[in-house]
Amino acid sequence: MFKFVSATLAIVAGALSITAQAHGPGRNYDDPSVVTQWNTIAEANIPASAGVLLPRPYALMHIAMFDAVNSIEGDHTPYRVRVPAQRFASSEAAAAQAAHDILVALQPAGTATYDAALAARLADIQPMRAQLGSQVGREVARKILEWRANDGWATPQTFTPAPMPGVWRPTPPANAAAGFVQSVDAQPLGLPRPYYFMPRRPPELDSQEYADGVNEIKAIGGVDSTVRTAEQTLQARLWASVNYKTLWAGAWNQVARNLAAQNKLSLAQSARLFVLVNAAMQDGVQTSMASKYAYSLWRPVHAIQLADQDTNPATDADPSWMPLLTTPPYPAYAGNMACIGAAASRSLQLFFGTNDIPVSITWEGINGNSNVTRHFAGFQQVSEHQAISREYGGIHFHFDTTASWEVCPKVANYIFGNYMRPQRH
């Protein structure tokens, strides 16, 4: 019986080899650079206007790429789906096709770029393998898009709290309505629900912790601060993309790209790494956004301008105070940038088994500004650099930051522990 099966498989494999030769040479190995190539393409086409949804296209693209590769190679549990696939199919072609189809659906303005990149990638792969792989990638992408079609992110909601001391209100100069309120109801990518991890309550307005937080930002975060250094000012502007093209999600993906190349990750390993980082960033920022609307704490600009209303004798009002950075249109607590960095850094630490891997990030300058590169001793130092930038920018209290540091690594832990787990055959 076993000899018969082995003989049959050998015949099938031989037939596939003959078919492959009949369709031209091409490569019969799969190049893992397909993951970083499409990550770079995504970065060039995802606009800053995506706001807190900036990691979502990255995450969905990489989930589709991983599930397409894993449908063929089968070394892990899927993130979301597994479709039928022939072992002869090209994992590289499957990944490229999946990435292409996701980006065409989510960021259609770049379709011509995606089409050209896909055609060039497939042309270098043995044709039959490319065709079979593309079929897998196309089906996986379809299922991922179907999964997220009605996840709640496209359903706008409003938030209009009463103008009480300590409660968020629209901030100058735009005084825009609250944004991304759907964070409280939209389906996360990996967590069971938006409020699965919640920070402790923010400090009471009459507490010393609150006063210390307000007074610290009043000194260091003002547009005309005399205690903030030039390097701290630059740090705030880098992560806020003020005169720099590189966005915060792109910065973390740049770290992942460099590490994938340095460590010569396989195609499956590279695909898994980028899912972990981007899914954790998206569910991380949704976690902090949900807590913002749960606690509705006002921003430093109002805490300082209206300090005479907080019943705290340790704070003093400055009606003319304004922050270095423009305040985003949603409440303060907990901090988004702190949560994003904590989730991303923890994902990298879990994947590589250590935090202590030196990394660097280059921010691309625009409007006459030169590129800026910063070097870090490890992932946690990057996350701290990102988080504190919002304090230097005057738009977050330090207790916003510490709240995110407490809960947001748990987002990465959950995704790492529940998705894409290695499995025995």
Task: List, for residues 193-221, the tens digit of each pLDDT value.
Answer: 999 999 999 999 999 999 999 999 999 99
Residues spanned by CATH 1.10.606.10 within the chain?
181-418
Residue 36 in 3-state DSSP?
helix
Q: pTM value?
A: 0.93
pLDDT of residue 21: 44
pLDDT of residue 25: 76
- Is it the case that residue 370 has pLDDT exceeding 50? yes
- Is it the case that residue 11 has pLDDT exceeding 90? no
- In this structure, the strands spanning 359-363 and 372-376 are antiparallel
Q: Is 233 exposed, middle or buried (0-12, 13-18, 19+ CB in 10 A)?
A: middle
Q: How far apart are CA 237 and CA 23, in angstroms?
A: 53
pLDDT of residue 7: 39
> E strand or H helix at 359, and its extent?
strand 359-363
Among 261, 354, 281, 216, CA closest to 32:
261
Compute the mean pLDDT over every residue in the chain, rounded to the nearest whole number. 94
- Spell out the CATH class of 181-418: mainly alpha
| Cβ–Cβ under 8 Å, residues 283 and 289 | no
Q: Among the residues of 78-164, which ranges form H helices?
A: 91-106, 111-123, 127-148
pLDDT of residue 294: 97
